[in-house]
Amino acid sequence: MKIAIIPARGGSKRIPHKNIKPFFGKPIIAYSIEAAIQSGCFDKVIVSTDDEHIAEVALAYGAQVPFVRPADISNDFATTLTVVQHAIIWCEQQDWAPELICCLYATAPFVQPHDLQQGLSTLISDDIDYVFSATTFSFPIQRAITLSVGGEVSMFDPKHLNTRSQDLPQAYHDAGQFYWGRVAAFKQGKPIFSPNARVVLLPRKRVQDIDTLEDWEFAEALYALSHTDKFIAK
């Protein structure tokens, strides 16, 4: 059985009610639920939440909310892995026999059904533990700088001060949308960022992690621009 698990706790502090905050006409979690359903990848699409309002919204958009997430994994210190492991164990207790899991974040309005399909195909064909969304850094990370408490500037990697950008290897980062994985890998807590993982590479115009109000505003601007110019799926 292939199951989508969408973590969506109710206690977001930096953006209150973040997971159901309206984003271009509908709660932001709706984009993830709809992409999961439209992908046709899943036998079940589950939202793991401790919040009755989130549960109501999730049900309205077609997800299942078969359990209430326990309080001890609904606080600021709960990890995504712990939430996924709890959901897997619950599913196994119902004799659902999950084999492949996709953890899909609730605040991923740019996720596309075909990205989820590609992730599933890669996971199966390459016989690996995980597949997750990633994108490129827009600036060479080798020339990143840091600031001291007093404001002094220093390079993370001074040896690349004069290295040409085209001579530096491209770096990538987690796009914060979804993580396909095998049940055994999630249950054993295997690291996602490892040689036994692959990525679905996304264009930067379809990536924005949303943790702060500034992130949210940037995501709104990017979404508006992308839908105006009709380039989101290119």
CB pairs under 8 A, 24+ apart, for 210-218?
A: 210/15, 210/18, 210/28, 210/107, 211/14, 211/15, 212/14, 212/15, 213/14, 213/15, 216/15, 216/18, 216/21
Q: What is the pTM of this model?
A: 0.92
Predicted local confidence at residue 122, as pLDDT: 97
Per-residue pLDDT, 229: 53
pLDDT value of residue 13 = 81
Query: What token pair was written down for 17?
Result: 């009610």
Q: What is the pLDDT of residues 70-87, one digit of tens each?
A: 999 998 888 999 999 999
pLDDT at site 234? 43
> Minimum mean pLDDT among 9-13, 80-84, 226-230: which range?
226-230
Domains and CATH numbers, the chain: 2-134+172-229 (3.90.550.10)
Residue 123 to residues 31, 61, 134, 181, Cα–Cα distance (Å): 23, 27, 15, 7
Sort 122 into a burial class: Cβ within 10 Å, 0-12 / 13-18 / 19+.
Answer: middle
Does position 169 have pLDDT exceeding 60, yes or no? yes
How wide is the angle at C-alpha 93 spanned by C-alphas 20 and 88, nearest 5°? 45
